[in-house]
């Protein structure tokens, strides 16, 4: 099958967004640039004539909002979609006034690419009136549902990452070129537009350094020394990439134990394709021979599972002596644990089973490249990513 960047893959968040539009005056669809927010929004309202799209990066649309209260009043019977809404923070107080005057569900659909900043701005004025939905790049579950025969294995998605224009590109070369262009545009245009005053060259060096530290414990002082900046500056750079969905900081879980636990977070690049582009890894063959392969597989699987289990709290477990669980998901009294091994014959450390005894998880998986799942002692199961994603909901 010839896959190209114009194809549409059904998103798992479609139903949640549709339900939100039927229930809340304001729905915010948040996610990184180019992950498909606008495409999803337009697909959801394709059969509606009462919809108006405004892109806050388009000068002609911005001119319509020179008097936003009057303009929105003239369009009050429509669903108004505001794309890249983080560029218009002055609109949020006006939206609050309009919504309080008419709390009809489905009045506004906000699309934003800066998570924490957008939430901060809107929560000051729209609390109780807005529902948030996060859209990730394409996930393995979505690609499997779209075409299970083509995506029997997650290798192409792992290598290229989940941005639609990357994973659906006609060749590895086209995919890599798209990601390289994305990185350059993100650094040179997007970060300044978000209001962050960091030179593109400095941020690229920092982002590339994080790629080399992918999956490791954050050491801001060491990173600061390498870049020649202070510890607080490193934190501010990390916040920028975190707010724009490029980086995930995974926090350690709090467990009652006499063992000394690591307290610093681990850092991952959220999209494996961007990780590989920054490390100049050209394709799957190059990746499998690269030192980052194990950490890359770990980060890739973590993102797939967190996207599937969005209402669970993610973290990791690690002691100062090196006992570790890559991913711990918690919700209420339930706990799930995952280890990730880029191998067809995964092996766990000697302390793995004693750690399971300490954490007492409801379920435990070791995720590798095995063709069929099989059990280990202590209730753990060695499995592949497809099996764990397909069976997670039924396992709880």
pLDDT value for 274: 98
Helices 200-212 and 231-243: crossing angle in degrees, nearest 10, is 90
pLDDT value for 2: 40
Count Cβ atoms within 10 A of the Cβ of residue 260 and give its class: 0-12 exposed, 13-18 middle, 19 or more buried.
exposed
Q: What is the DSSP letter of 113?
A: S
pLDDT value for 194: 80
- Predicted TM-score of the model (pTM): 0.93
Q: Indicate where the chain has its CATH 3.40.50.300 domain(s).
A: 14-134
pLDDT value for 182: 98
Total Cβ atoms within 10 A of residue 37: 26
CATH code given to domain 14-134 = 3.40.50.300
State the sign of the Cα–Cα–Cα–Cα dihedral 98, 103, 109, 113: positive
Helices 115-126 and 231-243: crossing angle in degrees, nearest 10, is 70
Q: Indicate where the chain has its CATH 1.10.10.10 domain(s).
A: 140-395
pLDDT value for 36: 95
pLDDT value for 3: 40
- Fold for the domain defined by 140-395: Arc Repressor Mutant, subunit A (1.10.10)
Locate 211 and state its tokens: 């790629």
Locate 160 and state its tokens: 């290229």
pLDDT value for 320: 83
Q: Do strands 374-375 and 79-83 pair parallel, antiparallel, or not at all (unpaired)?
A: unpaired
pLDDT < 70 positions in the chain: 1-6, 116-123, 393-396
Q: Do strands 108-112 and 26-30 pair parallel, antiparallel, or not at all (unpaired)?
A: parallel
pLDDT value for 1: 36
Q: What is the DSSP letter of 138?
A: P
């Amino acid at each position: 099958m010839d896959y190209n960047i114009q194809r549409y893959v059904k998103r798992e968040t479609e139903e949640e967004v549709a339900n939100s539009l039927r229930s809340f005056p304001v729905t915010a669809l948040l996610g990184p640039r180019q992950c498909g927010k606008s495409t999803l929004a337009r697909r959801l309202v394709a059969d509606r004539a009462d919809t108006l799209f405004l892109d806050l990066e388009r000068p002609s649309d911005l001119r319509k909002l020179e008097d936003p209260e009057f303009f929105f009043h003239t369009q009050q019977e429509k669903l108004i979609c505001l794309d890249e809404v983080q560029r218009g923070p002055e609109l949020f107080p006006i939206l609050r006034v309009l919504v309080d005057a008419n709390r009809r569900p489905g009045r506004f659909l906000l699309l934003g690419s800066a998570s924490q900043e957008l939430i901060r701005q809107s929560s000051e004025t729209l609390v109780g009136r807005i529902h948030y939905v996060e859209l990730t790049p394409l996930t393995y579950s979505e690609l499997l549902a779209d075409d299970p025969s083509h995506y029997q294995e997650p290798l192409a998605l792992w290598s290229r990452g989940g941005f639609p224009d990357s994973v659906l590109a006609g060749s590895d070369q086209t995919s890599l070129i798209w990601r390289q262009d994305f990185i350059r545009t993100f650094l040179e245009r997007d970060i300044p537009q978000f209001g962050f005053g960091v030179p593109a060259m400095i941020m690229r060096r920092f982002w590339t350094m994080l790629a080399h530290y992918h999956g490791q414990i954050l050491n801001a002082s060491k990173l600061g020394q390498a870049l020649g900046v202070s510890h607080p500056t490193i934190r501010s750079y990390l916040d920028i990439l975190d707010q724009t969905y490029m980086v995930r900081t995974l926090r350690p879980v709090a467990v009652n134990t006499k063992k000394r636990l690591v307290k610093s977070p681990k850092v991952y690049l959220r999209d494996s394709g961007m990780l590989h582009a920054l490390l100049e890894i050209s394709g799957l063959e190059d990746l499998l021979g690269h030192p980052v392969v194990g950490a890359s597989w770990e980060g890739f699987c973590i993102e797939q599972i967190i996207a599937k289990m969005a209402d669970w709290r993610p973290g990791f477990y690690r002691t100062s002596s090196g006992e570790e669980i890559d991913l711990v998901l918690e919700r209420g009294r339930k706990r799930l644990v995952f280890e990730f091994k880029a191998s067809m014959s995964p092996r766990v450390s000697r302390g793995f089973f004693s750690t399971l005894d300490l954490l007492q998880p409801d379920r435990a998986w070791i995720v590798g490249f095995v063709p069929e799942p099989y059990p280990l002692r202590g209730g753990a199961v060695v499995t592949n990513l497809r099996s764990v994603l397909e069976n997670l909901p039924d396992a709880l």
